Amino acid sequence: MNSSNEYRKEQDSLGEIAVPKHAYYGAQTQRAVNNYQISGLRLPRSIIKAQGVIKASAAKTNMELGLLPKSTGEAIIQAAEEVIQGNWDDQFVVDVYQAGAGTSQNMNINEVIAHRASELLDGTLESHRVHPNDHVNMMQSTNDTFHAAIHLAAAEMLHERLLPSLLQLQKELERKSIELMPIMKSGRTHLHDAVPMRLGQEFAGYSETIKSTYKQIEDTTDALYEIGLGGKAIGTRMNLPPDYIPKIIKEVCNRTNLPFREPANMFQFMQNTNAPIRTMLALKELSIHLIKITSDLRLLASGPRTGLAEISLPSVQPGSTIMPGKVNPAILEMTHMVCCQVIGYETTVATAGIAGQLEINVMMPVIAHTLMESLELLSNALPTLVTKCINGIEGNEEICNHFMQESLALVTALSPIMGYDRAAQIGKEADEKNVKIKEILQEKDLLTPEIVKALNPKGMV
C-alpha cells in the first residue's frame, strides 16, 4: 500500500494514479514508467534539451500571438530554460522503449514544465495552474515536436562536437603525413609486397579519407535543419495561426544559433525520418573508414619484435595481466569497437525508418536514442584517438628501409627495361634464394647504371 506521505494523486483521461509526492512529472509519465520497465535506458539529455528549446520557443510564440497569458507564458519559459540547463534531468524517467512516436516522452516534459511553472506562480507544484496539454503543449503535437527535437539535438551535436572532432583528426593526420614524408617504405597490396612509397603518403591517404567524409557529414547536416514545427499531428496545421510557424522557427534559431527552416513539404516531414537515416548512413561510412585506418595502424605497429613495427604507438596502459611489459594498441582497439557499435546502430535506424506508416513513423524514440548515442560515442572517441594515439605516432625509418630493400616488388622497375616475364623470373629467383633483387642482378652481371638508377626507390615514388 502506498503511503500518503510518499505519494500524491494525479489525474489524466484514464483516471487517478499515484505519483511520487515530490516528482515534477505527472499521471501520464507515471503510467509510462509503470508500463515500460524495459531497458533502464533513458533518452539522452541532448534530446531533453532540444525539447526544452521547443517548449520555450512555443510558449514565447503563443504569447506573442495572444494565445497564452503573459504570466503563464513567462513561467513556462523559465521552467523550460531550467530544463535546457539540466536542472531537472532526474525527472525524465521514461524508458527509451516506450509508446510509439515519443508521446510518453513529450508528456514527460510537458508535465515537468507545467508543474515547475505552477510552482513558480503559486509556490507549489500541486496547484495545477499551468496545464501540460492546454498550456505547455499549446499548438503542438508529439508528432511534430519530438521529430523536430531529434533534428535539433543531432544538428547541435554535429555542429558543436562531432564535426570539430573530425576536423581535428583530419588535421592531425595531415600533420603526421608531413612529418613522416621523408621515410621510404614498401607498399603492400593483398598484404604482400608492393612498390615503394613514403610513409607520409600512407598517412596523407588517411587524412584525405577523413576530409572527404567530413564534407559528406557536413552536407547531410543540412537535412537536419528542416523542422516541421506546426505540422501538428499529421501535417495539416489544424487550428494553427498563420504566423505561428515562422515565429517559432525564428525563436528556435535564436536559441540555437543554427539555421533551422520550415520543410519544403510538411507532409513529407511528418511521414518520414529522412534526415536521421541519412545522418546514420554518413556515420556508418565514417565508422567503416575509421576501422580501416585503425586496423592499418595496428598492423603497421605490430610487434614490436615479431610484426611489421614500421611505426610506434604511444604507450597508454599495460596490455596483459600475464605477460609482463606487454603494451597493446588499446586506443585503436577502443575506436574499432565504437565503430562496430555505430555500424550496428545504423541498421537499427534503417529498420526503424522502414516502419513508417501513412502519416507518421512511430519508431522515433529508438531512432532518437540510437542516433544520439552514435554521435556521442564518436564525439568522445575521436578526440581520444587524436590525443592518446595519433599525436604520438613515430615512424621507424630503419625497419621501413629494411623491408623496402627486401621487397620483391622492386622488380616492377625492371619491366620497362627487360620486359615483364624476365623481371618476374628475377623476382622469383630472388625469392627462392632468399636474397635481394640486386644480388640476383649482380650475379647475372645485369646491374648496369640504368638498372641501378631504376632500382632507386626514391625514383619510384
The Cα 428–Cα 193 span in angstroms is: 13
Sign of CA dihedral 32, 35, 36, 40: positive
For 293, the enclosing helix (H) or strand (E) is helix 274-300
320 is catalytic: yes
Cα separation values, 133 from 108, 114, 153, 190, 239, Å: 11, 9, 23, 63, 15
Residue type, 354: I
Angle at the Cα of 241 from the Cα atoms of 127 and 138, rounded to 5 degrees: 20
Going by the DSSP 8-state scheme, the letter that residue 315 receives in this structure is: P
Cα 459 from chain centre: 42
Cα–Cα distances in Å, from 173 out to 74, 116, 179, 235?
A: 50, 49, 10, 46
* Cα 60 from chain centroid (whole Å): 32
Q: How far is residue 239 from each of residues 38, 63, 140, measured CA to CA in Å?
A: 37, 16, 10
Query: How many other CB atoms sit within 10 Å of the CB of residue 347?
Result: 12
Residue type, 461: V
For residues 438 and 448, the answer to whether their CB atoms sit within 8 Å is no
Catalytic annotation, pick one of 320, 379, 402, 415: 320
Q: Which of 13, 190, 315, 379 is catalytic?
A: 190
CA separation, residue 103 to residues 28, 32, 77, 224 (Å): 9, 10, 21, 21
The helix (H) or strand (E) run that includes residue 395 is strand 394-395
Rounded distance between C-alpha atoms, residue 277 and residue 352, angstroms:
9
Task: Give φ, ψ of 226 to 5 degrees.
Answer: -85, 120
407 is catalytic: no
**What does the alpha-carbon distance between residue 70 and residue 401 come to, in Å, rounded to a whole number?**
76
Catalytic residues: 190, 320
